[in-house]
Amino acid sequence: MNGKRWRYRLEYFVFRIIVAMIQAMTVRQSVRFAKGLARIVTCVLPRKLTRYGVAAENIRTAFGTDLPDREVDRIIRGMWEHLFRMIVEIAQAPRKMCRENVYEFVDVPQAVWCVRTMSSGRPVILLSGHYGNWEVGNCTFGLFGFSMAAVARDLDNPYLHAWFARFREQTSHQLISKSGGSTEMIEYMKRRGTIGLLGDQDAGRKGLFVDFFGKPASTFKSIALMAMEYEALILVGYTRRLADDFDRYSWTRFEMGIVDVIDPRDFEAADAIEGITQAYTQALERAIRLAPEQYFWLHRRWKSIPDPKRKVRAERHSKAA
């Protein structure tokens, strides 16, 4: 136990040194730093170590097996650059973003639609995926005055977990553990609050299979069930990084967009769970297509395979009903 605690402390010490270095850099230097790390990962390290095969397989599943190798490499290189820039932006955000200047760095083309949804008087599930900088998106909502409960997995390292918890809570958000946090989520729904979720991970063989880039992907049913139970609106959005223009702006700029607002009352009861799940999954797909290099392709999204027997039983049950 002591050995693990000291390892966690060492990891946190190294992490804080890196954060301090990033915060001491100019914006241009930090971007070059992130791009340099991405170049090392994609050009120096062995592909097996960087899970190149997993990313390439996922990209070809999404965009077709005939996608040229050059395009696959471009997306993967862009993904790593994006991930390292995310780290840079999270480290810099507390010193760069505030309520007075948030509109300088974040463009919200559907601001009216967003405000109407968040102010509807109904509970809201703010849904996104591992796409763009979702942490900056959460921070932006807080700066706009819309607090929420951000649902996330606990980090193994308690010191790192506490640091990220402080980052998420500094704009009046509450952090809810993905493991065992259902009671707190229900309370938020009952109080007509907002819950922030990422809904693009594999749900295992018992999940609901809906199309994602044209191929069945196991997806959690809990989001649809919660929306139906509490008549919550599902706002599917994203926060993607825009092209750099440091001659005009002092920091990175983002577009915070809404792809869809899904109302569970628009679906027939018999097909609501599948219809809602398919609707938000397709909305996430539309967002990812805007900038595929800003998506986390390292997760095995199509890992689970539908059970043919379950499909047959479901079809029989549907016909009987």
pTM for the complete prediction? 0.91
How does the average pLDDT of the chain come out, rounded? 92
Phi, then psi, of 258 in degrees rounded to 5: -110, 125
- Taking residues 211-215, report their average pLDDT: 97
**pLDDT tens figures, 92-106:** 999 999 999 999 999
Minimal CA–CA distance to 149: which of 192, 96, 201?
A: 192
Per-residue pLDDT band at 309 (split at 50, 70, 90): low
Tell me what pLDDT residue 153 has: 86
Helix (H) or strand (E) holding 259: strand 254-262
Tell me what pLDDT residue 172 has: 80
**pLDDT tens figures, 74-95:** 999 999 999 999 999 999 999 9
**List of residues 6+ apart from 181 with CB closer than 8 A:** 151
Tell me what pLDDT residue 183 has: 86
Tell me what pLDDT residue 220 has: 94
- Taking residues 67-80, report their average pLDDT: 97
- Taking residues 179-192, report their average pLDDT: 86
Provide the b/e sequence for 4-28 (b: ≥16 CB within 10 Å). Answer: eeeebeeebeebeeebeebeeeebe
Which has more confidence, 155 or 309?
Answer: 155
- The region of weakest confidence among 13-22, 69-78, 178-187, 287-296 is 178-187
Per-residue pLDDT band at 8 (split at 50, 70, 90): very high
Tell me what pLDDT residue 207 has: 95
Tell me what pLDDT residue 69 has: 96
- The amino acid present at 194, given as its one-letter code, is T
C-alpha–C-alpha distance, residues 302 and 65, integer Å: 15
261, pLDDT greater than 90: yes
321, pLDDT greater than 70: no
**pLDDT tens figures, 114-141:** 999 999 999 999 999 999 999 999 999 9
**pLDDT tens figures, 289-298:** 999 999 999 9
319, pLDDT greater than 50: no
**List of residues 6+ apart from 115 with CB closer than 8 A:** none
Can you list the alpha helix ranges (DSSP code H) found in 119-261? 134-143, 158-169, 182-190, 222-230
- Taking residues 314-320, report their average pLDDT: 47
316, pLDDT greater than 50: no
1, pLDDT greater than 60: no
Can you list the alpha helix ranges (DSSP code H) found in the chain? 2-24, 27-43, 52-63, 69-96, 102-105, 111-118, 134-143, 158-169, 182-190, 222-230, 272-290, 308-320
Bridge-based pairing state of the strands 254-262 and 106-107: parallel
179, pLDDT greater than 80: no
Intra-chain end-to-end CA distance of the chain, in Å:
55
Per-residue pLDDT band at 64 (split at 50, 70, 90): very high
Tell me what pLDDT residue 254 has: 98
